Amino acid sequence: MYSKFRFNGFSNETLSSIANSAKKALKDFEFSSFLVGCTFPNSISDDGKQLLRKEFQPLLVKKLEKELNAMADFENPDIELIVNFDQDVLFIQVKPFFIGGRYKKFSRKITQTRHYCFECKGRGCKKCNYSGIITPESVQSLIEKHALPLFECREAKFHGAGREDKDVRMLGSGRRFVLELVEPKKRSVDLKALEEEINSVEGKKIEVSGLRKCSKKEIPLLKAGKNNKVYEVVVLCEKEIDVEKALRLQELTLIVKQRTPLRVVSRRSDKVRERKAKILSVEILSQKKAMFRIEAEAGLYVKEFVSGDNDRTNPCLSVLLENKCNCTELDVIEIKES
């Protein structure tokens, strides 16, 4: 976003013109802080530029503080202003608003984030019914549906601390996330009310908790976390389960060598990874079905730990039970955060 101003030397008239230009451009935006920088003409010497930064720029900051009814902030401003004296243009960047929180996902039919059509890359085509997306609903879209109108912005970016498959429920205390709202016009939103609204309307599919304002600095920390997870997996066996053999697996800790699963190898490097897994408990549900509670190191593909994935994962439950196994239901019930 940009706005023109009238340059009349480094004078009070120029200060007023810049302030009025900023005020007009930002009249629909709610903010309490700003940062201003100046690009001075190349015709001015380095010493002259230094003098302007020392004497003129502080006057500009004071003028903007008065006219915009906001405070200068050098650390985390809501708005960034760049005054270009070569072009007599004021460039304006509205900084994102970040919401941190946790989500639970109760549906096995929604993804974490919006998936764009691979064919048209989101532009819209016959394959995606001209919508540009292949996931009608996601955790991201269900939260955005309520957040975007309140913040009066058109788009947001979703950052999760890892992700689960579409058919996997996220339970327990939930998974941490940050929602980045792009160019919001409103910032003084009641996040507790937003949380209650999402849970009231979307509660059969998702639930959010602990919504709070946060900063961009949380995103890399979110992405860098490598936390163990506890899963509950319902396993269907080809033959009747040897109950004694199955129950002996309780408390067994394994080092699993896992080659990139066939279902994701087309988009991830094909290599062997070692991950630790511990079988916490086994519950026999029927002659051919059992529920396993498993604590797994970050990065273990649990579905393949069950099946073996054509011998790409070893050991696996199919080998341990000497019985061909498949995962029919999978839930994340705890993320062990340090």
Residues with a catalytic annotation lie at: 165
Show Cβ contacts of residue 49 under 8 Å, excluding neighbours closer than 6 positions.
Answer: 40
Q: Rounded to whole angstroms, how far apart are CA atoms 123 and 142? A: 21
Q: What angle do CA 300, 301, 306 make, to 5 degrees?
A: 115
**Taking a C-beta distance cutoff of 8 angstroms, is the pair 288, 280 a contact?**
no
Q: What are the structure tokens assigned to 195, written together?
A: 């949380």
| Other C-beta atoms lying within 10 Å of the C-beta of residue 206 | 24
Among 42, 93, 40, 83, which Cα is nearest to 61's?
Answer: 83
What DSSP line would sit under 145-197, residue for residue?
Answer: HHHHHHHT-SEEEEEESS---TTEEEEEEEEEEEEEEES-S-----HHHHHHH
**Taking a C-beta distance cutoff of 8 angstroms, is the pair 128, 117 a contact?**
yes
3-state secondary structure labels for all residues of 280-336: EEEEECCCCEEEEEEEECCCCCHHHHHHCCCCCEECCHHHHHCCCEEEEEEEEEEEE
Q: Rounded to whole angstroms, how far apart are CA atoms 290 and 41? A: 74
Length of the chain: 338
Show Cβ contacts of residue 207 under 8 Å, excluding neighbours closer than 6 positions.
Answer: 103, 104, 106, 174, 198, 199
Partners of 169 in the beta sheet? 331
Among 326, 327, 275, 312, which Cα is nearest to 296's?
Answer: 275
